A and B are shown apart, each in its own frame.
Chain A
Amino acid sequence: MTLFMMSSILSMPIKRLRVLLLLVALLTACDLTPLNNPHPPEDSAGSVLYSSFSERPKHLDPAVAYSSNEYTFIGQIYEPPLQYHYLKRPYELIPLTTTKMPSVVYRDNKGNPLPDNATTADIAFTDYILDIKPGIQFQPHPALAKDANGAYLYHHLSAAQLDELLTITDFKSTGSRELTAEDYVYQIKRLANPKIQSPIAGVMQPYIVGFDALAKQLTAAPQTDLKTVNMSGVKALSRYQYQITINGKYPQFRFWLAMQFFAPMPWEADVFYAQPGLKAKNISLDWFPIGTGPYRLTENNPNRQMVLLKNPLFHGETYPDSGTPEDKASGLLNDAGKALPFIDKVVYTLEKETIPYWNKFLQGYYDASGIASDSFDQAIQFAGNGQAQLTPAMQAQGMRLQTEVQTSSFYMGFNMLDNVVGGNSEAARKLRQALSIAIDYEEYIAIFTNGRGISAQGVLPPGIYGNQTGQAGMNPYVYDWVNNAYQRKSLSVAKQLMTEAGYANGIDPATHESLILYFDSTSVSTEDRPMLNWYRKQFEKLGIKLVIRATDYNRFQQKMRDGNAQIFVWGWNADYPDPENFFFLLYGPNGKVKSAGENAANYHNPEFDRLFEQMRNMDDGEARMHLIQQLQEQVRQDAPWIFGFHPKSFALFHSWYHNSNANLMANNRLKYLRIDTAERDAKRQAWNHPNFWPLLVGLVLLVLLVIPAIIAYRRRAAATLQEVQQRS
């Protein structure tokens, strides 16, 4: 073979040989690895994080954005006055742009100050006084650009200027200015503006003094300049100090101050973006934020890619130097005291499908990944003790697994207005309790979530104040404490409860046939059928026939609003780590049918409502903890929900991805992350050598296939010609 090749080369004409040598030289000179890199090669030099988004964020205006995919971006750009400590648990609020935690002053209905231990009944108003740090600058932005005379350059754009613009980066000049207390006040006024449609306007309206009055004023005169109007409960006391007055006592307000709704907004942004020509080019505050945070959005193409770059004017912050004892062991304190942020650039690419994302993650082109059900078995295996761990293949790649129980609850709710499953009668309560035992959510978690969740014992998920673990946190109506673990009560207990409820063996005394219950579900696809069948089987354990009423989401919402659903599945994700944010889902006046509130079960128990009203305004402490346990007990007994499960997130990180901590409350986690780019580059090179040989083999096979055909064709043509010649 070698001799044949040598003789072929030697017999080759000189010109062809030169071309061949040139090709070989070119191929060896080119760095062929990695050919499959989807990122520009020049990005390798900097500290760039690669992530993705599957759905374009609808809003990036901090007054409107409320979804997690929106917070992914605005959490890094806008800075509310407070933030959560990145490492400490339980979750702890700390100053972000303020010099200290807000001063809280209680006042009576005449405005006189009250002591800190004043009773809730005496407190008519609460003042939150916030002192912001001087010297904080807004990111460079054309809305703040001024000429030599101090006039804004781009607040009155001409038609010619507009014609030259395609995106916000086309503005030649940018400017900045110092953050002042007025910017925070301005943003709170924006929340009240009906034109802006903030989702928390309805929540804040009863609390912030003057909120409702301003909303009405702006409804009557929509063109009013927000800068010139006042909100009686919100005012700047000085350049760096402002005050928010709320009605009564609402301790949870401090958590709202850590959300982007309360981030500052310069009035110039509204004036700049209000220019009609910009809107037509999709240049709006909803798409190009203006904040003070560690990052700024430099490219926003929600159809393809969004890019965050380090804000050159960021006021500076350091990595926390304290955390939980485990944090030190896991290396989360290795960067203590270092300047933030660590990453220069973050590229978010639109990835609609999980499979390509997962494969690119395995090739090292994404730094972190969740685990879709398709790839779960490839990534995770369970040890003998039930502990999730990485498969050997993932371990070989040096990956790390991070799991965390989410501060979310998924539950099966009963419509308490329903004649059969609802109401406060003993029979209905026992029916609900029996169903709570029969529906085996441990099995559900194992089958439908790959074990990613824990069964719920009550309303509160782990991580929320008031949640208890061990026997103290057990739901005694559904579980027994056996061998230091929860054990679901046997089906015989559920059947006994059914008998006591008047449905012995699941027979409805009214019809003398199986009791029929109706489950309204938005799960309509064929993929959901196993789950729906599973629910049917759970009800069948008690002799109950479950009728699934599959419906689209809009109709389902309508049924819920009208109170026409009987049994449904719902969920809630915590806004802030306080039990009020979960118990309010069962507060009577929040009933969905009655007042279009968040109480989807329409649960109404005067005792529960009384305890809730007492608990919600209390400061954390023994008395509050006691009330929370009373509330838990009440709900466990009444069982308006079958407490389903709290999902557990599984995240995978490459070995070069550092400082990731599952802080479920913080939206500004990006600034703490660090990438070891040298390690990433080395591993990418090692993992992505292209393989050409299968292509060559394919080519040879094709040639081998075609040559006999050509020979056969020529032979046939020759034979035909010969035949014709013979005939002639």
Chain B
Amino acid sequence: MIQYILRRCLYALPLLMGVNILTFVLFFIVNSPEDMARMQLGQKHVTTAAIQNWKQQHGYDLPLLWNDTQDSAKKLTETIFYQKSVGLFLLDFGVSDSGRDMSTDIKQRMWPSLALALPSLILGLTVNICVALMMVLFRNTYLELGSMVLCVMLMSISSLFYIIGGQFYIGKLLKLVPISGYASGVDAFKFMVLPVIIGVVSGIGSGARWYRTLFLEEAEKDYVRTARAKGLSETQVLFKHVLKNAMIPILTGVVVVLPLLFMGSLIMESFFSIPGLGSYTIDAINSQDFAIVRAMVFLGSLLYVVGLLLTDISYTLVDPRVRLV
């Protein structure tokens, strides 16, 4: 397995390099270093000298990908791309174009993102599985039909509606929790209740339907029939056998998103004023802060690669037949 992990890590290197190049090219197609300087320096009284000065101080006075004025290896290394990319592979994100240390910002913003995403994931998973199992349990009854209709309705509603509706009803009309905000430590609880509920409810439609499909497929297999023939009750069959055997596809979906939980949710964090990583990238794009954009895209790619690797490893844990070679 170690060999497999090492090989996957090596595969990840060109992948990350490719993502980095793509980010770089796309960013600089839209923004030039001059545009970035103007954005950072403000709109009033920006002189050409000030722009040159900013570029020089932030290392954007070099050519983008190839430096003809240098010799040998320096043609490649004395470029914006090289200077801004090498640190990423050492997980040294450096300083943003607005002058803040990004590692510190990421560390600070990561926890609020997790505080929202982790309970949402766990609760959402539990609720979705329970609802799906209930639908399977009551299959071919009015309850399953009603649940399916409800799920389709829930899926059809925009996530923004859940957020605004939830804030309006629970926060504004019922006045049970703050409409938005955040606090560190235990005090975060009262701020997290509403976004977590909204996160869970908005995910029930698609989640429960997906798990129901998995469970139904499993429920039709021979070993389930055998279990029933042995005289096990339907609940015992579902919870002890079907659920256990449906774990592989569930894990596939869950483990891969685990590392990405750090990256946060843009809309939720924005509407609930949660100071997470969700809005960090969007803010950076709006302010043309290339340093943050490349760091966040790189981090996202890295976490995705890690997520896929963890998924593979988790297969071996839930299914002894799977071997990683």
**Bound pair: A and B?**
yes
Q: Which residues of A contact B (CB under 8 A)?
A: 34-38, 40, 55-56, 58, 66-67, 194-195, 197, 199-203, 279-282, 284, 286-287, 301, 303-304, 349-353, 355-356, 359-360, 362-363, 365, 552, 554, 557, 575, 596, 598, 688-692, 694-695, 709, 712-713, 717
Which residues of B sit under 8 angstroms from A194, Cβ to Cβ?
49, 53
Task: Give chain A's interface secondary structure class.
Answer: loop
Alpha-carbon distance A203/B44, docked complex (angstroms) = 10
8 tightest A-B contacts by CB? A38-B181, A304-B275, A38-B178, A303-B275, A202-B47, A356-B180, A554-B35, A352-B270
Residue of B31, B54, B183, B273 with highest tally of chain A CB at under 10 A: B273
- Residue in A closest to B103 when the chains form the complex, CB atoms: A280
| 28 CB < 8 A contacts A-B | A35-B176, A36-B176, A36-B177, A37-B178, A38-B178, A40-B183, A197-B54, A199-B42, A199-B44, A201-B47, A279-B95, A280-B101, A281-B104, A301-B275, A303-B105, A350-B275, A351-B273, A352-B270, A353-B271, A359-B168, A365-B178, A552-B30, A557-B35, A575-B44, A596-B48, A688-B175, A690-B175, A691-B176
Alpha-carbon distance A279/B100, docked complex (angstroms) = 8
Which residues of A sit under 8 angstroms from B38, Cβ to Cβ?
557
Minimum CB–CB distance for A356 against chain B, Å: 4
Alpha-carbon distance A585/B177, docked complex (angstroms) = 50
Interface string of B47-62 (1 = CB under 8 A from A): 1111001100100000
- Residue in B closest to A355 when the chains form the complex, CB atoms: B164
B interface residues, tally (CB under 8 Å): 62
Q: Which of A202, A286, A356, A717 contacts B49 (CB 8 A)?
A: A202
Given A37-B178, A199-B42: A303 in contact with B108 (beta carbons within 8 A):
yes
Q: A197 touching B50 by the CB < 8 A rule?
A: yes
Q: B101 touching A66 by the CB < 8 A rule?
A: no
Alpha-carbon distance A282/B138, docked complex (angstroms) = 57
- Residue in A closest to B47 when the chains form the complex, CB atoms: A202
Which residues of A sit under 8 angstroms from B54, Cβ to Cβ?
197
For residues 158 through 204 of chain B, which have their beta carbon under 8 Å from a beta carbon of chain A? Answer: 164, 167-168, 171-183, 187, 190-191
Q: Is B45 an interface residue (CB 8 A)?
A: yes
Given A281-B104, A356-B273, A713-B138: A690 in contact with B176 (beta carbons within 8 A):
yes
Alpha-carbon distance A55/B109, docked complex (angstroms) = 15
Q: Which residues of B contact A (CB under 8 A)?
A: 30-32, 35, 38, 40-42, 44-50, 53-54, 57, 95, 98-101, 104-105, 108-109, 112, 137-138, 141, 143, 164, 167-168, 171-183, 187, 190-191, 233-234, 270-273, 275, 279, 283, 287-288
Alpha-carbon distance A695/B176, docked complex (angstroms) = 10
Q: A691 touching B45 by the CB < 8 A rule?
A: no
Q: A349 touching B98 by the CB < 8 A rule?
A: no
Q: B179 touching A282 by the CB < 8 A rule?
A: no
Q: A40 touching B175 by the CB < 8 A rule?
A: no
- Residue in B closest to A720 when the chains form the complex, CB atoms: B234
Which residues of A sit under 8 angstroms from B137, Cβ to Cβ?
713
Alpha-carbon distance A704/B49, docked complex (angstroms) = 74
Alpha-carbon distance A197/B51, docked complex (angstroms) = 9
Minimum CB–CB distance for B94 against chain A, Å: 10
Alpha-carbon distance A251/B104, docked complex (angstroms) = 46
Alpha-carbon distance A355/B168, docked complex (angstroms) = 9
Q: B180 touching A360 by the CB < 8 A rule?
A: yes
